[in-house]
């Protein structure tokens, strides 16, 4: 499966008002390997790229879901992920940039949106029993 969706060719982009970006990519490019976070669905990317003077601007919607684990009971939690209206911008000197790969900035933007800790249903049902446990053990 090609991941060329990440590549923006500046020469091509200069000829058109904007370039549509649309596709699904394998989540492998996120390179998440801490064992607490998993992406099992394709990452849907939809948006456009355009030039404004010396700036390349990408405007994207990103949709997928991720698996994390409850910090209390360690249950698996599947959370839908939607990042709407993400802007990625890159400044460059005229003619200096031939192509731009937005894989890394997109990866950073996605991972930044994911909370460090999750808990089932916003408040884990196990909390109460854990509290009880802590009380007894004191
Ligand atoms: Zn839980």
- For residue 44, the model assigns a pLDDT of 98
DSSP code of residue 36: S
For residue 97, the CA-to-ligand 1 centroid distance in Å is 48
- The total number of structural domains that make up the chain: 1
Tell me which residue of 94, 30, 90, 22 sits closest to 56, measured CA to CA: 90
Query: What's the rounded Cα separation, in Å, for the pair 102 and 43?
Result: 14
Q: Is the pLDDT of residue 137 over 50?
A: yes
CA 80 to ligand 1 center in whole angstroms: 17
| pLDDT tens figures, 18-51 | 999 999 999 999 999 888 999 999 999 999 999 9
Distance of CA 128 from the midpoint of ligand 1 (Å): 11
CA 130 to ligand 1 center in whole angstroms: 11
pLDDT digits (tens, 9 = 90+) for 76-121: 999 999 999 999 999 887 667 789 999 999 999 999 999 888 898 8
- Mark the residues whose beta carbon lies below 5 A from ion ligand 1: 70, 72-73, 75, 120, 124
Which residue, among 69, 81, 78, has the nearest Cα to 124 in the 3D structure?
A: 69
Three-state SS for 92? coil
Q: Is 95 exposed, middle or buried (0-12, 13-18, 19+ CB in 10 A)?
A: exposed
Structural domain containing residue 84:
4-137
3 state SS of 38: strand
Q: Token digits for 131?
A: 């509290």
- The CA 63 to ligand 1 mean position distance, Å, reads 25
């Amino acid at each position: 499966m090609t991941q060329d969706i990440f590549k923006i060719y500046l020469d091509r982009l200069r000829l058109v008002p904007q370039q549509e970006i649309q596709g699904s990519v394998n989540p492998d490019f996120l390179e998440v390997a801490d064992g607490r976070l998993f992406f099992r669905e394709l990452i849907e990317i939809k948006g456009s790229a355009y030039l404004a003077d010396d700036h390349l601007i990408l405007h994207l919607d990103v949709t997928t879901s991720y698996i994390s684990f409850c910090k209390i009971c360690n249950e698996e939690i599947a959370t839908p992920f939607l990042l709407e209206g993400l802007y990625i911008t890159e400044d460059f000197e005229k003619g200096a940039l031939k192509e731009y790969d937005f894989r890394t900035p997109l990866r950073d933007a996605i991972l930044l949106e994911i909370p460090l800790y999750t808990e089932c249903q916003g408040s884990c049902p196990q909390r109460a029993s854990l509290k009880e446990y802590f009380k007894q053990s004191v």
